């Protein structure tokens, strides 16, 4: 009986980790770091800026943000390279007013082999 309780507890912990930390949230770009900022008076609006990991003063793409914004990575155009997705993610909607947004940044390398990003798609719902 004790082994079942322990197994159940372990399964619940794994389920909670899987829900709150999806596999798509890991940064697939080794040469790129993401600067997360909250420019407003609250932590509601989040912006993300791609920079070189070795020199964080070198910006390699546009700064984009969203209301309750979260950064994830997913290959949405089936080219084998994950795109950076910044979108509104609300865990519970308590009837609060917010503007759902989604921005997709496409990764590419320039002629010198340095990473860069460009805005591939943006949706404001």
Tell me the pLDDT tens digit for each residue of 4-25: 778 888 888 877 766 666 555 5
23-124: which CATH architecture? Beta Barrel (2.40)
Q: Would you list the domain boundaries of the chain? A: 23-124
Give me 12's structure tokens: 């619940």
β-strand pairing of 83-88 with 69-74: antiparallel
Task: Give the dihedral sign, CA 113/118/121/125.
Answer: positive
**Given this model, what pLDDT does residue 50 score?**
95
Tell me if 115 sits within 8 A of 107, measured CB to CB.
yes
**Given this model, what pLDDT does residue 61 score?**
93
């Amino acid at each position: 009986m004790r082994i079942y309780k322990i197994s159940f507890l372990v399964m619940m912990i794994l389920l909670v980790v899987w829900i709150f930390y999806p596999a798509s949230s890991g940064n697939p770009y080794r040469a790129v770091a993401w600067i997360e900022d909250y420019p407003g008076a609250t932590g509601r609006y989040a912006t993300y800026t791609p920079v070189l990991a070795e020199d964080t003063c070198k910006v390699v793409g546009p700064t984009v943000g969203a209301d309750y914004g979260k950064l994830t990575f997913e290959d949405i155009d089936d080219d084998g390279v994950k795109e950076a997705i910044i979108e509104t993610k609300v865990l519970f909607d308590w009837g609060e007013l917010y503007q759902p947004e989604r921005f997709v940044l496409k990764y590419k390398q320039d002629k010198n082999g340095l990473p860069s990003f460009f805005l591939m798609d943006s949706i404001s719902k």
